Amino acid sequence: MKTNKKSVPLIRAHKADGENPPIAMVTAYDAPGARMADAAGVDIILVGDSLAMVVLGYEDTLSVTVNDMAYHTKAVSRTEPSALVVTDMPWLSYHTGVSDAVRNAAKLIRAGAEAVKLEGGANRVEVIKALADAEIPVMGHLGLTPQSVHAFGGFSVQAKTREAAKKLLDDALELEQAGVFSMVLEAVPQAVAAKATEILKIPTIGIGAGPHCDGQVLVFHDLLGLTFGHKPKFVRRYGALGEMGIKALEGYVHDVKMKSFPSPEEGYQVGQGELDDFRYGRN
């Protein structure tokens, strides 16, 4: 194992403070993405079910399956990153009973995930305990849980009322007690995320949850400018790879049309004798 390999116990113990900088987590879904993320020094690579939206072109995350997640986890884990590899359990892979949940999580672990992430609060305690019993580490996910898109009536900020904030904090404590090693807080008011971070011993990892979490996560395609259309307020773009890619492809199309690609140097040559054979069809 690499000496700088990130592990579940290391992350579990990592509360950001004066000595410990926040955890940096990013999604990746294939080998080049994982290599880039690891070379950049991220602590955790999340094979997120956002795969459905940013790679596979669906409107929401509900269409990806355990097999899809396992396939992409294999691609990421083949790169043997130093970062911890966590894979999302997709919708309906842990909602139909603990034995289904353990069997599905095991598929993801066998594909190379070192932990799984699942969405929900107190209603997931039994599943989390069963996974812990099967030695499968679990990351929690509260706030805007995209698999609840229809129940929420869209992708909107959560925990905005006093009751909803209290419910989120109660859920967070229940998840911690059930054994999660860290927790994503998505699209919740900064003050609520700060309170969760204060009361939990495990690290919180925010997305649209403000600066007081123990870590941050962004979607690979969002931060590199590879997503088109609406950009959520919490996304900071660190690159414009979409625009760069279109420019590069335009250059390619231009060169093909103008017959300036490929040049003779970009092809293979044969000796004159062989050429004569081709020309005159001699054996």
Binding site for ligand KIV (CB under 6 A): 27, 46, 48-50, 88, 184, 186, 207, 217, 219
From the CB of 222, what's the least distance to ligand KIV, in Å? 9
CB of 11 to ligand KIV, least distance (A): 14
Residue with Cβ nearer ligand KIV (34 or 217): 217
| C-alpha span between 39 and 31 (Å, rounded) | 12
- In terms of CB distance, is 169 or 207 closer to ligand KIV? 207
Which residues, 6 or more positions from 39, have their beta carbon under 8 angstroms from its beta carbon? none
Opening angle at CA 9, ends 23 and 14, nearest 5: 35
Q: Name the token pair of 35.
A: 């290599």
Cα(206)–Cα(192) distance, integer angstroms: 11
- Residue closer to ligand KIV (CB basis): 238 or 252: 238
In eight-state DSSP terms, residue 129 is H
To the query of whether residue 59 is one of the catalytic residues in this protein, the response is no
The pairs formed by 146-149 with CB atoms below 8 angstroms and a separation of 24 or more are 146/49, 146/50, 146/60, 146/61, 146/119, 146/186, 147/49, 147/61, 147/62, 147/90, 147/91, 147/119, 148/119, 149/60, 149/61, 149/62
Residue nearest to ligand KIV as judged by C-beta position: 48
What span, in angstroms and rounded, lies between the C-alpha atoms of 223 and 231?
10
CA nearest neighbour of 255 among 269, 244, 266: 266
Q: What is the DSSP letter of 179?
A: T
Q: How far is the CB of 256 from ligand KIV (least distance, A)?
A: 36
Beta pairing class for 182-186 and 138-143:
parallel
**Comparison of 84 and 219: residue with beta carbon closer to ligand KIV:** 219
CA–CA dist 179, 12 (Å, integer): 10
Cβ closer to ligand KIV: 27 or 264?
27
Alpha helices in the chain (DSSP H): 8-12, 31-39, 51-54, 66-77, 98-110, 125-133, 149-152, 162-178, 190-199, 220-223, 241-257, 272-280
- Catalytic site residue from 80, 186, 266, 274: 186
Nearer to ligand KIV, 238 or 264 (CB): 238
Q: Which residues are catalytic?
A: 186
